[in-house]
Amino acid sequence: MPPRMSAARTLFRRKPITSAADSDNALPRRLGTFQLAMLGVGATIGTGVFFVMHEAVPLAGPAVMLSFLIAAIAAGLSAVCYAEMASAVPISGSTYSYAYVTLGEIVAMGVAACLVLEYGVSAAAVASGWSGYLDHLVGALFGLTLPPELMAGPMEGGIINLPAVVLVAMCAVLLVRGTRESAMVNTIMVVIKVAVLLMFAAIAITAFAVDNFAQFAPFGTAGVTAAAGTIFFTFIGLDAVSTAGDEVKDPQRALPRAILIALAVVVAVYLFVAIAAVGAQPWQDFADPEQQSAGLAVILADVLGASWPATLLAAGAVVSIFSVTLVIMFGQTRILYSIGRDGLIPKAFARVDPRTQTPVFSTVVVALAVALLAGLVPLTSLWDLVSMGTLVAFIVVSVGVMVLRRTRPDLPRGFRVPGYPVTPVLSIAACIYLITGLGWSTYVWFGVWIAVVLVFYLLWGRRHSALATAERRDEVGAD
C-alpha cells in the first residue's frame, strides 16, 4: 500500500502535464494563430482607451503616456513568460493551470481566485460602461435619449443598467453557439474598432498642442505609478489568449505567437491614441463628468466642431466594448471549465454540450453573475482590484517559468523566454513595483476575497479534487 500523503503535502500536490484531449469533456481544437491573436487584441484594446484613460489621466497628467509605457513593459516581460508557459503547458485554464503543474494545488486555487476576480469584475465593469456610448450613438442617429433610470443601477440613482444586461446576454448567446462563431465575430469587431481608433488618433492629432504637455507630471512619480497600476488590468487580454489552450490547433506554436502579436498591436494602438488624446485637450478636462461615459467621442466633437466623427467613434466604441466583454466572458468560462475538470469546483462547470461543443453551464453561470454585477452595482472604483488580481497572476506565471525550467528541463517548448533567468525576475520586479502604487483598500479587499476562496478550497475543493479522488482510488486498489 502506498504511503498516505500528509495533510500539508496534499495542499501542494501538482497536476501532471497531460493532453486535455484525453478527457471525456475535451473541447474541439478549432482556433488558429490569427484568431487567437484577435482574441487577445479584442480583450485588451478598448478598456484602457475608452474607460480607464479618463481614470488614469487625472492621476498622472500628461505623463500618463509613461504610465501606459510602464504598464506595457511590465506586460511585455510577463507576455514572454506566458508564451513559454503556454507552449510548454498548452491546455486551457491559463495561469491557474500553470500554477497547478508548477507550484501546487493550493497555489492554483489562490490564482483561480485572482482570475475569477479579474475576469468577472472587469467584464461587468466594461459592460456597465457600454450604456454611455450606446446612448451617445442612439442620440446622434435617431435623436433619442435612453431613460436615465435604465442606464444605471439603484446605487447610482437608477433602476438597472439595462444596456449592460442586454450586452451580456448577447455575448452569452454567441458563446453558447460555439467557439468558432464567437472568434469570427470578435475578429470582425477587432478590425472595426482598431480602424475607428486610428481614425480618432489621426483627427485628434490635428489639434495637438505642445502647451497641453507643459505640466507634464503634476503629481510626480507617485501619480505615474498609480496610473500605471490602474491601466495594467487592461492587459488581461494576454491572459485571455492562454485560456483557450484546449481549443487551439498546434498550441505549442500558435499560443506564444498569438500572445506576442497581440502585445505588439495593443501597445502601438494604446500609445498612439493616448498621445493624440492628451495633445488635443488640457489634461484637467479628462476629469470632466461629461467625458466619463463617452470621453473620446466628446474630444472628437470638440476638435472638429462637427458631430459625425464623434458619432462614428461612438459606433466604434459600442463595437469595441462588445468585443471586450465577449472575450473576457469567454476567458472566464474556460477558466471555470478547467477548474471544474480538476474537481476543485463542481464538475457541472466542466460539462461540454455535445451539440455546440461548448461549456454551456459555465457560460450561463458567468452570464448571470456578470449581468447582475453590471446591471446593479457601480464597478468603476474596482479597477485597482482587478489590476491586483492581474499582477499577482502575472507574477505566478513568471515564477512558474523558473520552476518548470528546473523541474522539467526536458519538456518540449515551442518558445523560450529570451534572456532567461533575468527576464522572469524583471517581470516579477515590474509587477511588484506596480502593486506598490495601488491603494491600501485594494490590499484589504483582495486579501478578503482570496481568504474566502481558500476557505472554500480547504472545506470542499481539497477533498473533491481529481488528484484527491485518484489518490483514494489508488489506496483502495492497493488494499
Domain segments of the chain: what residues?
31-474
pLDDT at residue 21, as a whole number: 47
- Indicate if the alpha-carbon torsion angle 147, 151, 157, 159 is positive or negative: positive
pLDDT at residue 123, as a whole number: 87
With CA atoms as reference, report the closest residue to 231 among 264, 270, 197. 270
CA distance 94 to 390: 12
Q: How many CA atoms lie within 13 A of 396 on its CB side?
A: 28
Cβ contact 461:107 at 8 Å: no
pLDDT at residue 1, as a whole number: 44
Beta bridge partners of 151: 161
CA distance 245 to 265: 21
Single-letter residue type at 280: A
Backbone φ, ψ for residue 324 (5° rounding)? -60, -50
Give 231: exposed, middle or buried? Use CB within 10 Å, 0-12, 13-18, 19+.
Answer: buried
pLDDT at residue 361, as a whole number: 95
* Grid cell for residue 214: 507643459
Backbone φ, ψ for residue 244 (5° rounding)? -100, 20
CA distance 183 to 330: 10
**Integer CA distances (angstroms), 404 to 86, 121, 400, 412, 420, in order:** 12, 31, 6, 11, 13
Q: Could you state, in chain order, the average pLDDT of each consecutive group of 10 residues for the chain (479 residues)?
A: 60 77 60 84 72 79 88 85 85 85 93 89 84 82 84 84 93 88 84 85 86 88 86 74 75 82 86 86 79 66 72 80 87 91 93 88 95 83 77 90 92 87 92 85 91 94 89 69
Which superfamily, per CATH, for 31-474? Amino acid/polyamine transporter I (1.20.1740.10)
* Grid cell for residue 72: 506595457
Cβ contact 132:289 at 8 Å: no
pLDDT at residue 22, as a whole number: 47
pLDDT at residue 459, as a whole number: 93
Single-letter residue type at 176: V
Give the Cβ contact number of residue 155 at 10 Å. Answer: 9
pLDDT at residue 349, as a whole number: 94
* Grid cell for residue 194: 482598431
